[in-house]
A and B are shown apart, each in its own frame.
Chain A
């Protein structure tokens, strides 16, 4: 039974860190701000969730498991709300998402102050 927990937690940890890595790379390579939010919030919810589930299998029943569930719950709620607030604030301040066509990443979608 113990071996099963170790294997499952190892798989979850590796998968979670893989998603964190892809999100991190996406944060760098995406052309403009609103696609970067997508990349970053993926890691917040999925990567963190998988890593936490991997740790939960290691923890077993008890207070540690309760704390891990709390962290998972808060990070899910906080991550998505913060991403939404960021997108709304960016839109309100005039940062238009790039809808069609190529975009050089220097301007990063900021409106040119012409």
Chain B
């Protein structure tokens, strides 16, 4: 039961990676990385149950928070880069 879920999550992570490589715009890539991160959280939680080790869930909690902070950080970083190009064009 858990192995099926883990395999499906691995497939979805591969799909997210494909979008990350193919994504034309910068924000597609950020979206794909964010999606990849949340799937990692799910994979860690399911693997924790698969091997009967409940302490994996602590890793999953920390990873949810770090993933969120990193997406906000990347967006904040690229927000000013966008403005810089706009100033150069104007």
Contacts and interface: CB of A to CB of B under 8 A. Distances in A.
Contact of A94 (B1, B64, B82): B82
Contacts of B35: 23-24, 27, 40, 43-44
Given A48-B38, A78-B38, 12 more contacts: A13-B4, A17-B8, A43-B35, A48-B42, A51-B5, A52-B42, A52-B45, A64-B54, A71-B41, A85-B75, A93-B78, A107-B24
A106 B5 CA distance: 33
Contacts of B82: 89, 92-94
A110 B24 contact: yes
A23 B39 CA distance: 11
Interface of B: 1-2, 4-5, 8-9, 11-12, 15-16, 18-19, 22-25, 27-28, 30-32, 34-35, 38-39, 41-42, 45-46, 49, 54, 57-58, 60-61, 64-65, 67-68, 71-72, 75, 78-79, 82-83, 86
Contacts of B28: 33, 36, 108
Contacts of B57: 64, 67-68, 71
- A contact patch SS: helix
- B contact patch SS: helix
Given A52-B45, A58-B49, A63 B54 contact: yes
A71 B5 contact: no
A86 B34 contact: yes
A63 B19 CA distance: 37
A16 to B, nearest CB: 7
B89 to A, nearest CB: 8
Contacts of B15: 24-25, 27-28
